[in-house]
């Protein structure tokens, strides 16, 4: 930085980039120094971006030591890749809206910025214009009473269907929802929040509709957002249909109208700011802010102020990270409601990681161990991933886990109504890593817990997984009404057929049934059940979380597992939030936590985990996970992170090495005091 000014580089020329350059020229704390272009010889670049060095390619811009911050103005599909690369290069980033194609991509961008210590902001320029703050003040003042409804549109009509244009191009994520739908959505969330005394508010329900045109993108679309405070917002967007583009806010005492709020009633150069207030029984009042500064200069200065202050996100009313994620989650639901998934989000085209690179296969952050009966060493932590419903969202986490050294994937026939298996199968084939991976499959879940179901469900699982075998198979529940030998016979038959090539056993099986199953197999020359997947945690499960669940955290179970050296793939290994701030002796708002985990014995364990975590500079959940890893029998925790931050946080437990004395102290208390 020079003289307290942010040296900006623009990544990708274009019409919005030109407008941003005008904003930098009119800013107080920014200067434009460089432009990265794929075609630096294109005529007119020097004239359009005066004072900027024209660099050959985006990589050259990120490598330029004289650039502090990068403005990303390329089409939507490139936002995540180049924002991540920019953060890795130590550059601050202001990225055109939408920040990413999905909230999952945006979260990964934020993860990269958080690790790099760099700024990341979404360029909704209207949020920094004084008109927005004035609008919020009017809502908070109660000038139109209590807000009941919001109506907003951003729609225009292109000259006709133009397949080569980015707005119609499927491979460029065209259509109205991503291009302009974020404006009315972000504004509706802002107004609903102002009415509730909050910076923004998330809708509790999103219903969407759209017309998908020839190229599969939305040409016109509408959505209905319902908020917990009773406000209903009708939002619409279009690229093939002109709309009136007026923001209307209806209250119990009047209404507010704002034309073209994203331009503050002007254009890409100047937005004067104009708000019309219509009170019941009174004349229309026009509030004119008479702004003359460049429309984009406000966001340039706000980003610059954040960077100079060492902040990583915009100050309100700019779009902070939580705000950007909230808007994208609404757009995700809107798109899901209308069936809009771009071809570039599907496995056939999404062949690289989100950062645009091939998947790395040499990760060492997660160590591996050999478990008898398995064909290859498995990672210390197994990954569960039920929360994803598209390849583009799930592959982000799967890639990160694998690149960290993870190769053990936990699936189940009933997980996500089968989509978890489908997603893993797509990913394994797309990334070409089936032979390096170990798949846990589960079947025979209640109420279909019968021997003849195992083969039928496994056949479907293999089809979804796009493989001819699984490495570990668990019956997901037991049925004590069926002789245990019948279940052993069914699983043994699949092993002999080569569809299970490793271990099989029971998930949520009792000690007695496992003993009986092993004895039956030994007597009849069958493969013995060789693994369990029961709950195991530093906190003992007092009541089943779900019907049929079994915990192995008791002293009797620990002795049995140790004696038999039985591998246990432990679910809910961190107590489902018991070792976080969600739990506490005085916190009884979470019914599940109270019912399942609250006992003085468990709170004593929690207290000791907190004490040890403080000494180690870790969190109690890291200690709880390390406890499961350090057992004197093969113990493999199943983790279910939803974000890259959660995944990376879980890996911190791998730094903790607990001794047998530590385990005893954490479990039993002061009489086994850790030195």
Where in the sequence numbering do the catalytic residues fall? 97
**Residues paired with residue 31 on neighbouring β-strands, in sequence order:** 7
DSSP string for residues in 368-411: EE--TT-SS-EESSEEE-TT--SHHHHHHHHHHHHHTT--EEE-
Order across the sheet with 30-37: list the strands.
53-56, 30-37, 6-11, 69-72, 92-96, 120-123
| Cα gap 184→154, rounded to integer Å | 7
Q: Which residue has tokens 């056939």?
A: 348
| Cα gap 422→420, rounded to integer Å | 5
| Cα gap 177→98, rounded to integer Å | 10
| Cα gap 119→8, rounded to integer Å | 13
| Cα gap 461→475, rounded to integer Å | 13
Distance of CA 126 to the CA centre of its chain: 26
| Cα gap 454→457, rounded to integer Å | 5
Q: Which residues contact 435 (CB under 8 A, 6 or more apart)?
A: none
Which tokens hold the place of 130? 């004084």
**Residues paired with residue 279 on neighbouring β-strands, in sequence order:** 254
| Cα gap 473→498, rounded to integer Å | 12
Pairing of strands 218-227, 232-238: antiparallel
User: Element (H or E) spanning 203, and its range?
Assistant: strand 203-212
| Cα gap 466→451, rounded to integer Å | 24
Distance between first and last Cα of the chain: 50
DSSP for residue 513: H
Range list of β-strands (E), 38-184: 53-56, 69-72, 92-96, 120-123, 147-155
Q: Which residue has tokens 């005893």?
A: 664
Q: Which residue has tokens 């070409």?
A: 432
CB hemisphere CA count around 221 (13 angstroms)? 33
DSSP string for residues in 550-605: -B--SHHHHHHHHHHT--EEEBSTTGGGTTSTT--TT----HHHHHHH--HHHHHH
DSSP for residue 181: I
Order across the sheet with 274-279: list the strands.
203-212, 218-227, 232-238, 147-155, 246-251, 254-259, 274-279, 285-288
The closest of 360, 381, 405, 367 to 650, measured between CA atoms, is 381
- Cβ pair 537, 550 in contact under 8 A: no
């Amino acid at each position: 930085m020079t003289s307290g000014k942010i040296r900006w580089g623009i990544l990708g020329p274009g019409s919005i980039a030109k407008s941003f350059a005008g904003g930098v020229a009119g800013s107080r704390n920014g200067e434009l120094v460089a432009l990265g272009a794929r075609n630096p010889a294109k005529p007119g670049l020097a004239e359009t971006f005066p004072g900027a060095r024209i660099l050959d390619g985006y990589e050259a811009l990120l490598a330029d030591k004289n650039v502090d911050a990068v403005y990303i103005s390329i089409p939507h599909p490139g936002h995540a890749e180049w924002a991540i690369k920019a953060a890795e290069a130590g550059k601050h980033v202001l990225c055109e809206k939408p920040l990413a194609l999905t909230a999952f991509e945006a979260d990964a961008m934020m993860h990269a910025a958080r690790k790099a210590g760099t700024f990341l902001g979404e360029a909704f320029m209207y949020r920094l214009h004084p008109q927005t703050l004035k609008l919020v003040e009017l809502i908070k003042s109660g000038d139109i009473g209590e807000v009941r409804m919001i109506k907003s549109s951003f729609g225009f009509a292109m000259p006709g269907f133009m397949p080569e244009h980015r707005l119609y191009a499927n491979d460029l994520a065209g259509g109205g929802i991503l291009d302009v739908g974020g404006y009315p959505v972000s504004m509706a969330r802002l107004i609903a929040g102002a009415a509730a005394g909050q910076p923004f508010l998330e809708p509790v329900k999103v219903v969407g509709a759209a017309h998908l045109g020839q190229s599969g993108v939305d040409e016109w679309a509408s959505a209905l957002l319902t908020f917990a405070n009773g406000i209903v917002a009708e939002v619409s967007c279009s690229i093939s249909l002109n709309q009136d583009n007026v923001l209307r806010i209806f209250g119990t005492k009047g209404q507010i109208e704002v034309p073209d709020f994203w331009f503050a009633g002007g254009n890409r150069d100047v937005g004067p700011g104009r708000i019309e207030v219509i009170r019941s029984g009174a004349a229309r009042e026009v509030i004119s802010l008479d702004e003359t500064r460049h429309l984009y200069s406000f966001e340039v200065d706000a980003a610059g102020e954040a960077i100079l202050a060492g902040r990583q996100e915009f100050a309100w009313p700019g779009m902070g990270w939580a705000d950007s994620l909230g808007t994208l989650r609404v757009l995700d639901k809107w798109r899901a409601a209308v069936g809009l998934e771009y071809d570039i989000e599907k496995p056939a085209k999404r062949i690289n990681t989100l950062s645009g690179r091939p998947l790395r296969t040499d990760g060492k952050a997660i160590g591996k161990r050999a478990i008898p009966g398995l064909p290859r060493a498995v990672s210390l932590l197994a990954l569960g991933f039920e929360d994803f419903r598209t390849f583009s969202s799930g592959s982000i986490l799967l890639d990160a886990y694998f690149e960290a050294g993870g190769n053990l994937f936990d699936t189940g026939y009933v997980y996500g109504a089968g989509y978890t298996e489908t997603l893993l199968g797509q990913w394994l084939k797309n990334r070409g890593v089936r032979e390096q991976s170990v798949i846990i499959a589960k079947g025979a879940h209640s109420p279909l817990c019968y021997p003849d179901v195992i083969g039928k469900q496994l056949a479907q699982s293999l089809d979804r997984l796009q493989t001819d075998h699984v490495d570990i198979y668990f019956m997901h529940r037991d049925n004590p009404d069926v002789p245990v030998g019948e279940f052993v016979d069914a699983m043994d038959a699949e092993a002999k057929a080569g569809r299970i090539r490793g271990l099989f056993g029971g998930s949520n099986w009792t000690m007695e049934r496992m003993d009986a199953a092993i004895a039956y197999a030994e007597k009849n020359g069958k493969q013995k059940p060789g693994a369990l997947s029961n709950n195991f945690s530093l906190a003992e499960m007092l009541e089943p979380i779900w019907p049929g669940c079994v915990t192995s955290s008791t002293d009797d179970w620990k002795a049995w597992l140790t004696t038999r050296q039985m591998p246990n793939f432990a679910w809910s290994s961190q107590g489902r939030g018991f070792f976080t701030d969600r739990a506490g002796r005085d916190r009884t708002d979470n019914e599940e936590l109270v019912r399942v985990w609250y006992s003085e014995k468990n709170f004593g364990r929690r207290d000791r985990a907190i004490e040890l975590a403080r000494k180690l500079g870790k969190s109690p959940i890291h200690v709880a996970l390390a406890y499961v890893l350090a057992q004197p029998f093969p113990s493999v925790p199943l983790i279910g992170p939803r974000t890259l931050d959660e995944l990376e946080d879980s890996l911190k437990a791998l730094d903790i090495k607990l001794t047998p004395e530590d385990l005893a102290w954490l479990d039993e208390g002061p009489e086994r005091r850790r030195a």
